[in-house]
Structure 1
């Protein structure tokens, strides 16, 4: 009888372990099949806000682009204080990718919108966020356009460097500077978001000057002691006034620093040293912000 009980018990344990492993594998499969897409919405002040939405299947390029435009025309995020940048009447007529140039033709709804700069920035940021796309060309009714009314941004060379919330429209300055997106925390409809502003930093500035300019926009209390770049890792030495009681820095502040500084050319990661010791809390790849599950 005891032997029988032992056999049954072992069988139950094996079944439980097998079920646990199966569930773990099934969960990992769901995670691998879910990927985040960054779309752009705006708040009531017309500030552009990048939002990470979960999408459960990957699509062919043209279908993916049409789906993104549809989502950015939607009002389903109004409860989160976010509104569509793209007019509901805007239609995608055609999509073509050739030699890393993505050409998208829209209907003439683009001409009639007053928020031309916001639309250009939103479309450029989202549609150049593909590995195979280096540049975006916008057409209207199949014809090339160089400018839109209410905007002086030239449409013949749109790249990811255009950024978001870029209030400097002078095209000559765009080519004489380094574009960086600096993130700050903003409360919108009782939700906290990381909202970027695109700054243009002089190419003649040293690395330390560029870094300090960015840090000043994040938080004026950040005092940079030294900055160095090696193998695409930017190492910062900061003053100890940022340390909390646990000898770490605030997690939000850390993320704002990393997100902002990785927009610099040739910077893939950031290490933060205080009193000679690293105070990084997490890997750069683990930073997910403005995530909304739909």
Structure 2
């Protein structure tokens, strides 16, 4: 009898531990299934700089729904506590969206208000930066079904909203945008005690179109404790750009600062026909050492 009681207790204990184990395992599995879908949006800071951030849409969406969601986010004041303000009017509505070949057309309600060329350029740059990704090379605008060539109070042509526009150009002359090519440069900026990568655009004459000219200008504009210089010509083959840098930028442990690495790679990734970037010093490909304390992050976590 005593043996049966002991066996019963043993079986109950085994079942109890088994249930606890499976519940804990089930919790682990549930934790692993958290869906994230980070997308880029653009806001304006107190210095009128356009600042790209990444927000989580939580789930994968069809293109039409995704684009509408991004516009809604960029109308909101949810990020003003971070010092980031919406560029778009809160009353703006998306009437329709059309994707044709390599262009994307937005039909908006009549709420694209601007007071000058710079405000129009801000909207155009925002649309270019957020939506001219992947196969999309051009954005077309309509207001209540009518094609838009310029916004009221502005002479900047809407036809400039392409993947060659750049961001933070601060150019009021539209001709200059057409006669030049962009070199986007990422530096860091502190906004409300948070550090972000913020791009600005330098432009060069179209005849200076070789990759070394663009990379040299890019390196010159990147803020760094040590000057960034090329030691040999860059190579660009099938979208893969190799940049060969002098060793003066290495830290004492022969590594490159994580933020500086990201600034160079992010900047170079915006150059025309570049899909991948590799950095070399003394013939060796270099990668950053993660420095958590010095990390710059444009991803907003709420």
**What is the TM-score with the length of structure 1 in the denominator?**
0.84
- 1:223 corresponds to 2:225: no
Counterpart-to-counterpart distance in 1, 2:24 and 2:246: 48
Q: Within the alignment, does 1:62 sit opposite 2:64 as a pair?
A: yes
Structure 1 stretch 53-62 or stretch 241-250: which is displaced more?
53-62
Equivalent residue, structure 2, for 1:145: 148
Deviation string for 1:149-172 (max 9, x for gaps)? 454332135223222111234444
1-structure distance, mates of 2:145, 2:257: 50
Among candidates 289, 294, 299, match of residue 291 of structure 1: 299
Cα distance in 1 for residues equivalent to 2:83 and 2:198: 13
Note the aligned Cα RMSD (angstroms). Answer: 3.1
* Separation (CA, whole Å) in 1 of partners of 2:30 and 2:182: 42
Query: Pick from 250, 263, 268: which aligns with 1:261?
Result: 268
| Alpha-carbon shift at residue 200 of structure 1 (Å) | 1.8
Distance 1:22 1:247, change over 3 A: farther
Aligned residue in 2 for 1:236 = 243
Please name the residue that 1:207 is paired with: 211
8 A contact 1:242–1:249 mirrored in 2: yes
SS of 1:265's partner is coil
**Runs of 4+ displaced beyond 6 Å:** 1-11
Unaligned 5+ segments in structure 2 are: none
CA shift for structure 1 position 282: 7.4
Q: Distance in 1 between matches of 2:24 and 2:245?
A: 46
For the 8 Å contact 2:243–2:278, the answer to whether it is kept is: yes
Match of 1:29 in 2: 33
Match of 1:127 in 2: 131
Match of 1:40 in 2: 42
Do the aligned partners of 1:137 and 1:157 also contact (CA within 8 Å) in 2?
no
Q: Distance in 2 between matches of 1:204 and 1:248?
A: 36
Who is 1:272 aligned against?
279
- Residue 271 to residue 13, structure 1, CA distance change in 2 (3 Å): farther
Counterpart of 1:96 in structure 2 is 98
Q: Could you tell me which runs of 5 or more consecutive residues in structure 1 were left unpaired when the two chains were aligned.
A: none
> How far does residue 112 in structure 1 lie from its aligned partner after superposition?
4.7
The CA deviation string for residues 38-68 of structure 1, in whole angstroms up to 9 with x for no partner, is 1110100110000100111233333333322
TM-score of the two chains, using structure 2 as the length reference: 0.82
Structure having the higher Rg: 2
Instruction: Answer yes or no: is the 8 Å Cα contact 1:52–1:289 preserved in 2.
Output: no
Aligned length: 287
Change in Cα spacing, 1:20 to 1:245, as seen in structure 2 (3 Å) is farther
Structure showing the higher strand proportion among its residues = 1
Inter-partner Cα distance in structure 2 for 1:61 and 1:109 = 23
1:150 to 1:197, Cα distance in 2 relative to 1, 3 A: farther
Residues 117 and 150, structure 1, Cα contact 8 Å, conserved in 2: no
Cα deviation, residue 183, structure 1: 0.5
The corresponding residue for 2:167 is 164
1:111, CA displacement in angstroms? 4.2
Which of 177, 180, 183 aligns to 1:180? It is 183
C-alpha distance in structure 1 between counterparts of 2:131 and 2:244, whole Å: 36
Report the CA distance shift for 1:145/1:21 in structure 2 as closer, same or farther (over 3 A): same
Q: 1:113, CA displacement in angstroms?
A: 4.4
